[in-house]
Amino acid sequence: MSQSLPSLPSEHSEFKTIINFHGLLLTVVDSGGIDYIPLKPIVELLGTQWKSARETAFSGDNCELYGTCELNEPIFNGFSTLKGTKKAVFILLEATETYLMRTNTSRMRENGNVKAADYLLNLQKEWRKALHEYETEGLAYNRRVLNKKKDLGDLLKARKCVKNPVEVAALDRMIADEFSGLGYPLNQEDNPQGELNLRKKGSNPS
């Protein structure tokens, strides 16, 4: 007899934003004031079987560690109805790194997903070091993100100093790439003069 899957009492979620997580666009939803992400896109990226990954996410202490639950997917058309509402498996946004940290990269490599396995293994070693620094020194820095922010600051300063339209356009593209890498895609569709408009991807224009 199959056990019923745990879920939040309301099972309701609202779309919040879209983030760029190491090249993977993840939908963030809010349920009861807590941020969640769908598990399936991560599983597909890892190249593992969805059935076993789903069962593992709900098994034992994993359910508590990942905050695994079933939620109704957010409705984007503005009409809320229980009829036809689709449920999906979600985990806590803050558990994303934990889930990936516990992923068996050797098994990924055996399944032929070598490039992703190598990339994830490097991330796991980076997070291992950060956790050690947090436990021993009380603070850990993501040097990769700090470097990106420094590069972005240098580009923004440089843009203020140039007048040539070609140079301005080139710097705008570079700035947009840096913002996107930090998880904040820029929208320049309505800015023919090259004025940057920061807007989270997935949000509606005002």
Residue 122 pLDDT = 93
52-100 residue pLDDT tens:
999 999 999 999 999 999 999 887 655 554 455 689 999 999 999 999 9
Residue 191 pLDDT = 41
107 has a pLDDT exceeding 50: yes
Report the share of the chain in percent with pLDDT over 70.
65
On average, the pLDDT of the chain sits at 76
CATH code: domain 9-96 is 3.10.260
Residue 71 pLDDT = 93
Residue 57 pLDDT = 97
Query: What residue ranges do the domains of the chain occupy?
Result: 9-96, 104-138, 143-181
Mean per-residue pLDDT for 154-165?
72
Instruction: Provide the 10 A C-beta neighbour count for residue 85.
Output: 12
Give residue 196's pLDDT band: very low, low, confident or very high (50, 70, 90).
Answer: very low
Residue 23 pLDDT = 76
Residue 9 pLDDT = 43
Of 29-33, 72-76, 190-194, 200-204, which gets the smallest average pLDDT? 190-194
Comparison of pLDDT for 190 and 38, the residue scoring more: 38
Instruction: Provide the 10 A C-beta neighbour count for residue 205.
Output: 8
13-38 residue pLDDT tens:
888 888 888 778 888 999 999 999 99
Of 50-64, 102-116, 119-133, 147-161, which gets the smallest average pLDDT? 147-161
Instruction: Quote the CA–CA distance of 29 and 100 in Å, as a whole number.
Output: 19
Residue 6 pLDDT = 46
Residue 77 pLDDT = 57
Comparison of pLDDT for 143 and 63, the residue scoring more: 63
Instruction: Quote the CA–CA distance of 39 and 26 in Å, as a whole number.
Output: 9
Per-residue H/E/C for the chain: CCCCCCCCCCCCCEEEEEEEECCEEEEEEEECCEEEEECHHHHHHHCCCHHHHHHHHHCCCHHHHHCCEEEECCCCCCCCCCCCCCEEEEEEHHHHHHHHHCCCHHHHHHCCCHHHHHHHHHHHHHHHHHHHHHHHHCCCCCHHHHHHHHHHHHHHHHHHHCCCHHHHHHHHHHHHHHHHHCCCCECCCCCCCCCCCECCCCCCCC
194 has a pLDDT exceeding 90: no
